[in-house]
Amino acid sequence: MSHKKFEGKVAIVTGAGSGIGFEIARQFLQEGAQVVINDLNEALIYEAHQRLGSPDSCVPVAGDAGSIPVINKMVKTAIDHYDRLDISVANAGITSYGAFLDFSERQFDDLVNLNLKGSYFLAQKSVQQMIRQKTAGRIILMSSVTGILSHPFLIAYGMTKAAIRNLTQNLVIEVAPYGITVNAIAPGAVATERTLAMDPEYEQVWGSLIPTGRVSTPADIARVVLFLSSENSAQINGQTITVDGGITTLCAIPPDIDDPNK
């Protein structure tokens, strides 16, 4: 029997009820990890737990990933069930569209609470546990291409995702001495249940703009998460890996520009 890459490792994955988070959890389980999965929607996370089909290697924790008591519960659940914590993936986040002039305080606070506070304190509580264990570890945060490039009606969201890039870099100074690496992923357009429900033409429209000719899938993002969580990435630290098919390499081009080869 071949050795699985994450046998003996324990991971927390937030926002795992569907989409990218679900796929991250699925791939971790496939590679032998034990996983604590979280989602705000209780029915969804318990359904995800059943779909994952690994009841002995997976424990659901429902609740707001921006809440410190819920974060503490996730870490405690990992210890109570599996005696350790090696990897935390702060995948949970919300996208809130709105024009700058009309964006409400409530929308702003909701974004900051989950996207920033949730990421910051999951990292903090996870690192504290890893230090207590005296083991190395991996923290994976979720940024976005909107933290790199402007996007209409996503100013506040993009701001939180740019902050995640900065958090990723700054955490390195304090946690690297403990053998813990911190990296982030900046996905571009990803075909998930949510994005496809919002726009049935999502894949076609965005795929036509992306150099690789398609949008990313949750599996594309999850594979990078697993790489950054593995020993193969031990010397990658404080980096944000963009997974977007190359769209952030492009600049605006006039539609009538001449081809120099013609």
Tell me, yes or no, if 157 is annotated catalytic: yes
Helix extents (H) in 83-217 = 105-111, 119-133, 155-175, 193-198, 202-207
Distance (Å, rounded) from C-alpha 196 to C-alpha 7?
34
Q: Which of 120, 157, 178, 202 is catalytic?
A: 157
Range list of β-strands (E), 197-244: 240-243
Q: What is the DSSP letter of 179?
A: T
**Strand order, beta sheet including 87-90:** 58-62, 34-39, 10-13, 87-90, 137-142, 180-187, 240-243
Coil, strand, or helix at residue 13?
A: strand
Range list of β-strands (E), the chain: 10-13, 34-39, 58-62, 87-90, 137-142, 180-187, 240-243
How long a stretch of residues is the chain? 262
Active site residues: 157
